[in-house]
Each structure stands twice: as structure tokens, then as C-alpha cells.
């Protein structure tokens, strides 16, 4: 934003939202609270218990269930009571499909309602924490879920356009109705809206921002999808079970099954799980360059959080979208070694302060230093965080090549190696690299004399022959060396995604009898091991030319095939060895209904023999500038 535009924005906000800065003359004892700022942060001066709770149904522009009527979107609202008598407040909005099933957050919270149908308990802390600071919190049932009309579309157009309609209503461009069917205007808000959410919720913020809707000032995207295709595919390889789009739609919708059966049959047919190819169905669900939502249309500021060991929403969902955002978009990011994790559960105090500053600056116009700080926080290990100007860090390319003796070096080698495309877990593929395994090839550098940090997206290039028309081509980048690392693999009653619960609770906002604002305390879950899979990549060989068209390979013919692994930001410590493992189908990519890597029936492997020409095979790593390269 230019200086003149920023001054204009601050002036408008100052008129719309009276600010009281710490140190200003005290107001009279009978004056109603106004927004109070101290140390660059809004302060909790409004009563949460006395807040106005209401609900409306916003008219969307879609008819997702084909019943001949435009879908109405249920919107539950909580706002300071003072916003009903002249104070205009900005909005923090969470659009979610999860209010019915499975619930929201690690504590699986759901909405509770009073006799008038107003929400008395909102899932998560956004209401408890931010309403006392002078924000409205708006909780939106995604179309097809909970109390909204229609059918969920597994990231399709109606999912996005329902949220857009709510932003339009908050800015006076759409119609909403109360329980009596009378129109309701959002006269209590400035219209400036920030969307926040985790996973599907984060994706909805990305999708709505990509429509370019006016009034959406910022989004906080926590592990959110930016491509529906990459939710269930990796370069032509199916990574979710067939019918995953239907299952996801059914999971979040508690209406009678027959209501949306026709919609789901169409999704089954159009998603084309049989080939795994990208097509028009997936293009609609592409929030990077698709027809409904695209990164180039985003003008809201962006605060994005991505776990580089997330097996559900993989790192490319962040990196590929991040690089397509216009340069004018104000942005911030946290890049972590966690899995599918909201940092509220693991880095709570820092997260809340940062989020408070972000919303205050972007929605209230508070003059704090959030944009003068380094743009990106990067987690390199347990309790080890650094900051940098952007992501990825400035890098140079280090190309490593497998050698006939099993080492990994800088110069091309001669000879060949072969393996059979069979599904295995990553632990099985990476373990005991010196031991011969018919289903993988493993190559290791000598012990590193200096630490090497990778920041960005590696790429693999293989010169190969197959004895069948296709194969799953997989690569693993592995850190061999004893160390204590974030344990992103454990899933138990007390630990998951790199988090463990450590006992006790934090109360992060004001409470009522129904909504206590207190949450379990968590921290880093660690494990000591001799190796760690850093990143991975997989490709259906017959999609090496195009994701939209399958081209079977000619058995016995040599091909040069190059593709990207998933991105990463990771430090290989001095004394460790960097490993390249060439594999077939990856069971850790094969997600079942629980989202875990146990869906062994998804892609069992083709049984093809893959013969690799070492002279044309390499992995290229983006290595942080200044890292000593041997």
C-alpha cells in the first residue's frame, strides 16, 4: 500500500473506530468503552458476557443443490454491545464446514445455541479473545453444512461463493434475512473483514480472497489448501482413496443422503479418480489459477502458516500459491517442521501476540511494528526459530548425483541401478541404506563437514527405462544422523502432528458458563532417531509430460524425467549424511479416511522394474546462500 493510500486508510479507520491510546486523558466514569490500544495492541475492555449474539441468513448467488432456489448461508454473530449504539467494528470471520462433523480444533468443539437460535458457544478462541478487544466475530456455516442451504462441493465454486456473499453483505452489497424473513443490514461494522481458519477453513479464506472481493482486508491461512487436485493427487498419482471427494462431502453434511446424491454422483464422475489426471473439475478447485479464484486477484493481505511435514495439506499448497501472489500483496508467513498443526496449540503465546498485532494493523489501522519485522518465521527444529526477509531464503543450486559405489557426490557417474515399483512406508524405504533392497536404491554423501540448509523446492531428474508402460517414481531426501527432532509421525491420544499435550490449560480470553475460552496446553513432541525423511516427491511416469493427459511409456525406451519434490526448509547438521532414496509407490502418501498414511489399497505399485542410468540422474537442492558447499 502506498504511503498516501495508507494515510487515507488510517484516517477512515480513525473516523469509523474511536481509538483510546494508553496515556490519553481518562474518560468519564459513565462513558461507554471505546477501542483501547496500548503497546501497539488492542486491549480487552468490552464485556464478552454482555456481547450481542444474533444470526442471519445471507442470500448467495449459487444453487448448489439444484432445488431452484439460491442458497441461504447461515451466519452467527457475536459483537460488543456498544456496536449497537454507534461504534462500528471490524470483523474476524471463520467460514467452516466442520461445525457438524468432526468439530473444530483439537478439542473438537461444536456450536451451542439458545432458545432463540443464537450461538452461546463458538468453537475456538477467536470470539473469547477478540470480541473484548473491539472486534465482531462472524461464524459462517459453509454451504451444505450445519444450518446453511445447499450441498458441499469439496472446494468447488459454491464453497467459495458462499463465503464471498457474506463479505458482500458485511459491505452492503448482499441481502440477509432474520428468522422472520425481514432484511437485515450490517450497520454495526466498518466492513473490513479478516478471514481465518485451519485446513479446509484456511482454503476457504484463500478461495474467497482469490475472487478479489472488496472488503476482505486480510486472510490468515493456516495449513489451507490452494489446489483441490493436490489434496488427493501427486503428479498423477492418487494419494487418497477413490471417491475421496464424495467422502469429504458426505463427512461434513448431516442432511439426508438423498438430498445431495445427484451432486455427489456428478463429483464421482467428473473427478476421474481412475486416471488421476487433472481436468476441468480440478481446475474449478484451483485457487492459484482457476476460473473462480486465482492468486493474481488477491489484494487482501496474507498471513500464512505451513507445516512442511504436513501429510494432509502438503507444502506445495503453500509454496506454489505464495509465489503467484501479486508483489503488492502485504504478507507474512510461519514455515514449520510440524504436520497439520494450528500453531495456537504449540507456540501459543507468540502466536496470539502476533495474530493480535496482525489483525489490529490490518483491520483496525493500529500503528504497530508488525510489518517492520522480518516477514517470515522459520522453525529449524525443537524450540529453534529464526526470522528472515521472505520465503524461501536466497539460495544457490547444489546438484548431487548418485555414484556406482552407493555414495552421493558432485560429479556424474556411470553404471545403472534398478528397483521394483512396490508400495512401502517411508521408514522401510529409508532404513538401513547400506543394505540391499530390491524395492529401492539408496545413495549417501560422506559426513558433512559443515551444516547445509535447504530452503525451497528441490527437483529430481532420472534417466530411466521401464519394463511396463508406467510406474510410480518416488524420491526421498533423507537426513542420516542421530538427532532429536520434531516427531511429526506419532498419532496418539496425547500427541499428533508434532504436538503433545503437556498438562494444564491456558485461558486466552473472557468466558461465560457455556464458553470458557480455556484450552489444553501443548508443546513440541520430539523423538531421537538415526534418520529423518526430510522431503519426498512422487510422479506417475505416464504423466511426466502433462498432468491432464496420460502418455504410457514404451517399455525398454530411455526417458529423461524431471519433477519437483515437496518444498522444505531444513538444516542438515555437520557430521550428518544427506541421502537420496529412489523408490516406487509411497504408502505414506496413501491416505485413508482418517487422513493417515495407512491406505495401502490406494496405490499398491505397478510392479514395474525401473532401471536408472546414473549418468543422467541427480537431485538439485536450493541451498541457502552462504552455506559452505563441499
Query: Is 299 noted as a catalytic residue in this protein?
Result: no
Asked whether 124 and 196 are in contact (CB, 8 A), the reply is: no
Neighbours of 304 (CB within 10 A): 27
Q: How far apart are CA 164 and CA 320, in angstroms?
A: 23
The catalytic residue among 141, 159, 273, 310 is 310
Q: Give the burial class of 623: count Cβ atoms within 10 A of its Cβ; 0-12 exposed, 13-18 middle, 19 or more buried.
A: buried
Coil, helix or strand at residue 140:
strand
As given in the structure block, the three cell numbers for residue 561 are 524425467
Query: Is 310 noted as a catalytic residue in this protein?
Result: yes
Asked whether 541 and 585 are in contact (CB, 8 A), the reply is: no
Asked whether 490 and 481 are in contact (CB, 8 A), the reply is: no
Strand-pair partners of 417: 612
The catalytic residue among 340, 361, 544, 576 is 340
As given in the structure block, the three cell numbers for residue 298 are 488477491
What is the distance in angstroms between the CA of the first residue and the CA of the last residue of the chain?
43
Asked whether 322 and 332 are in contact (CB, 8 A), the reply is: no
Q: List the alpha helices (DSSP H) in 181-299.
A: 200-209, 228-232, 244-251, 261-271, 280-284
Per DSSP, the chain holds a count of helices (H) and strands (E) of: 11, 34
The catalytic residue among 64, 199, 413, 618 is 199
Beta pairing, strands 89-96 & 136-141: parallel
Asked whether 361 and 217 are in contact (CB, 8 A), the reply is: no
Residue 140 exposure: Cα atoms within 13 Å on the Cβ side: 35
Neighbours of 481 (CB within 10 A): 19
DSSP track, 378-410: EEEETTEEEEESSSSPPEEEEEEEE-TTSBEES
DSSP track, 303-324: EEEEETT-SSS-THHHHHHHTT
The catalytic residue positions are 199, 310, 340
Amino acid at each position: 500500500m502506498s504511503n498516501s493510500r495508507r494515510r487515507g486508510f488510517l484516517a477512515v479507520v480513525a473516523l469509523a473506530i474511536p481509538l483510546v491510546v494508553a496515556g490519553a486523558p481518562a474518560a468519564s466514569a459513565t462513558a461507554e468503552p471505546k477501542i483501547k490500544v496500548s503497546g501497539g495492541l488492542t486491549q480487552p475492555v468490552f464485556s464478552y458476557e454482555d456481547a450481542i449474539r444474533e444470526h442471519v441468513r445471507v442470500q448467495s448467488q449459487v444453487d448448489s443443490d439444484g432445488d431452484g432456489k439460491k442458497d441461504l448461508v447461515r451466519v452467527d454473530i457475536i459483537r460488543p454491545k456498544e456496536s449497537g449504539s454507534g461504534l462500528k467494528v471490524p470483523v474476524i470471520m471463520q467460514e467452516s464446514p466442520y461445525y457438524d462433523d468432526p468439530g473444530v480444533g483439537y478439542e473438537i468443539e461444536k456450536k451451542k445455541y439458545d432458545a432463540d437460535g443464537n450461538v452461546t458457544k463458538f468453537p475456538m478462541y477467536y470470539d473469547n479473545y477478540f470480541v473484548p478487544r473491539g472486534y465482531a466475530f462472524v461464524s459462517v456455516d459453509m454451504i451444505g453444512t450445519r444450518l446453511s442451504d445447499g450441498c458441499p462441493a469439496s472446494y468447488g465454486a459454491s464453497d467459495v461463493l458462499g463465503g464471498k456473499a457474506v463479505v458482500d453483505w458485511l459491505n452492503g452489497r448482499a441481502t440477509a434475512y432474520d428468522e422472520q424473513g425481514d432484511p437485515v443490514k450490517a450497520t454495526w461494522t466498518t466492513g473490513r473483514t479478516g478471514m481465518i481458519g485451519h485446513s479446509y477453513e484456511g482454503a476457504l479464506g484463500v478461495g474467497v480472497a482469490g475472487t478479489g472481493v472488496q472488503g476482505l482486508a486480510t486472510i490468515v491461512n493456516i495449513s489451507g489448501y490452494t489446489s483441490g487436485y493436490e489434496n488427493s493427487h501427486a503428479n498423477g498419482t492418487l494419494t487418497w482413496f477413490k471417491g475421496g471427494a464424495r467422502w469429504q462431502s458426505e463427512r461434513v453434511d448431516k442432511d439426508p443422503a438423498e438430498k445431495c446424491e445427484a451432486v455427489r454422483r456428478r463429483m464421482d464422475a467428473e473427478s476421474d479418480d481412475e486416471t488421476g489426471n487433472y481436468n476441468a473439475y480440478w481446475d474449478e478447485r484451483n485457487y492459484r489459477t482457476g476460473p473462480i479464484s486465482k492468486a493474481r486477484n488477491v489484494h487482501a493481505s496474507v498471513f500464512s502458516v505451513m507445516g512442511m511435514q504436513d501429510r494432509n495439506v502438503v507444502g506445495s499448497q503453500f509454496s506454489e500459491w505464495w509465489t503467484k501472489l501479486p508483489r503488492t500483496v502485504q504478507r507474512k508467513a510461519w514455515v514449520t517442521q510440524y504436520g497439520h498443526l494450528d500453531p495456537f496449540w504449540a507456540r501459543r503465546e507468540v502466536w496470539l501476540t502476533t495474530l493480535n498485532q496482525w489483525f489490529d494493523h490490518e483491520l483496525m489501522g493500529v500503528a504497530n511494528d508488525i510489518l517492520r519485522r522480518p516477514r517470515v518465521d522459520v522453525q529449524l527444529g525443537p524450540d529453534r526459530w529464526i526470522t528472515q526477509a521472505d520465503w524461501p531464503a536466497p539460495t544457490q543450486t547444489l546438484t548431487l548425483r548418485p555414484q556406482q559405489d552407493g555414495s552421493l557426490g558432485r560429479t556424474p557417474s556411470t553404471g545403472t541401478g534398478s528397483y521394483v515399483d512396490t508400495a512401502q512406508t517411508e521408514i522401510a524405504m529409508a532404513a538401513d541404506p547400506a543394505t540391499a533392497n530390491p524395492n529401492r536404491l539408496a545413495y549417501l554423501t560422506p559426513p558433512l563437514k559443515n551444516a547445509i540448509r535447504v530452503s525451497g523446492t528441490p527437483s529430481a531428474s532420472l534417466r530411466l527405462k521401464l519394463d511396463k508402460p508406467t510406474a510410480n517414481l518416488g524420491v526421498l531426501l533423507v537426513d542420516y544422523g542421530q538427532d532429536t527432532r520434531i516427531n511429526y509421525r506419532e498419532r496418539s491420544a496425547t500427541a499428533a502432528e508434532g504436538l503433545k499435550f503437556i498438562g494444564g490449560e491456558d485461558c486466552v480470553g473472557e468466558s461465560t458458563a457455556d464458553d470458557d475460552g480455556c484450552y489444553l496446553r501443548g508443546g513440541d513432541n520430539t523423538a531421537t532417531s538415526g534418520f529423518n525423511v526430510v522431503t519426498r516427491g512422487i510422479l506417475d511416469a505416464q504423466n511426466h509430460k502433462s498432468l491432464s493427459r496420460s502418455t504410457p511409456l514404451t517399455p525398454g525406451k530411455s526417458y529423461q524425467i524431471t519433477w519437483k519434490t515437496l518444498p522444505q526448509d531444513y538444516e542438515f547438521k555437520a557430521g550428518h549424511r544427506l541421502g537420496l532414496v529412489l523408490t516406487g509407490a509411497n504408502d505414506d502418501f496413501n491416505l485413508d479416511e482418517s487422513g493417515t498414511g495407512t491406505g495401502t489399497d490406494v496405490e499398491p505399485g505397478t510392479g514395474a522394474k525401473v532401471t536408472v542410468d546414473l549418468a543422467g540422474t541427480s537431485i538439485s537442492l536450493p541451498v541457502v546462500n552462504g552455506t559452505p558447499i563441499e
